Chains A and B, each alone.
Chain A
Amino acid sequence: DGGITQSPKYLFRKEGQNVTLSCEQNLNHDAMYWYRQDPGQGLRLIYYSQIVNDFQKGDIAEGYSVSREKKESFPLTVTSAQKNPTAFYLCASSIHIEAFFGQGTRLTVV
């Protein structure tokens, strides 16, 4: 099946630890994105990548890092510098202007 796979679905992190969220797509899309969703707020863009080996900061990039070594993969690392990391993280991809989303990873800091 073609689609966007995010893993894991649930993730627990201790304060002070870095954690990496996985996003893989087999849609042959060039662009990939990471969004963060908090209750009562719209989706906010963290990072996006238009092509392999290139990515740009979104509106809330502080405390996050990404890589784009392969077209299919766009992992997001939540670092210990992110002050409020508990949230629902969504990965998306697009080839034209519509974006298609994965099922999300819920990160909880314990």
Chain B
Amino acid sequence: EDQVTQSPEALRLQEGESSSLNCSYTVSGLRGLFWYRQDPGKGPEFLFTLYSAGEEKEKERLKATLTKKESFLHITAPKPEDSATYLCAVRGGGSNYKLTFGKGTLLTVNP
């Protein structure tokens, strides 16, 4: 069974204070690892797909990296508008269309 664990559960940063969120996973035959951003009361917004170890993707202040066991979402010089819950999900080779999600990391960036 695919499993995803995200840490920390919550992270509070000052504006401009860079940090990283962790996503550890176990999956049979990774087809893709996904990062989403979710604002309160809204649906998750797609950010990145990572397919294989060593891959990196960037978008504005966010950079996602992938190893064989975990993924990191690095946030450089965050702004208050980056405050949200960040979700990690995986799709394994045996699960066809199913995504398995972690519980998310609630990021708060104070001005």
Using CB atoms, name the residue of chain A closest to B31.
Answer: A97
Question: Which residues, 77 to 108 on B, are CB-close (under 8 Å) to A?
Answer: 87, 89, 91, 96-104
Give the size range of A's interface with the partner.
20 to 34
By a CB distance below 8 angstroms, the chain B residues around A41 are 103
Judged by a CB distance under 8 angstroms, whether A8 is at the interface is no
- Tell me if B41 is interfacial: C-beta within 8 Å of chain A: yes
Contact B41 A43 (CB under 8 A): no
Q: Name the A residues within 8 Å of B100 (CB-CB).
A: 42
Inter-subunit contact B32/A104 (CB<8 Å) = no
Q: How many residues of B contact A (CB 8 A)?
A: 24
Identify which of residues 44-62 in chain B touch chain A, using a CB-to-CB cut-off of 8 Å. Answer: 44-46, 49
Tell me the number of A-to-B contacts counted with CB atoms below 8 Å. Answer: 55
Contact check, A102 vs B43: say whether CB atoms are below 8 A apart: yes
Is the beta-carbon distance between B43 and A90 smaller than 8 angstroms?
Answer: yes
Cα–Cα, bound, A44→B98 (Å): 10
Decide if A31 is an interface residue (CB 8 Å cutoff): yes
In the complex, residue of chain B having the shortest beta-carbon distance to the beta carbon of A41: B103
How would residues 77 to 101 of chain A score, 1 for a CB under 8 Å from any chain B CB and 0 otherwise? 0000000000000100010011111
With contacts A97-B49, A101-B44 known, is A58 near B98, CB below 8 A? yes
A18 contacts the other chain (CB 8 A)? no
User: Smallest Cβ distance from B5 to chain A, in angstroms?
Assistant: 10
With A and B bound together, what is the CA distance between A15 and B36 in angstroms?
34
User: For chain A residues 1-23, which have a beta carbon within 8 Å of chain B?
Assistant: 4, 6
Interface check A68, CB cutoff 8 A? no
Closest 6 CB pairs of A and B: A101-B43, A42-B101, A43-B101, A42-B103, A103-B43, A97-B32
Report 17 cross-chain contacts, Cβ distance below 8 Å, ordered by A residue: A35-B101, A41-B103, A42-B103, A42-B104, A43-B99, A43-B101, A50-B96, A94-B97, A97-B31, A97-B32, A97-B49, A97-B91, A98-B46, A99-B34, A101-B45, A104-B42, A104-B43
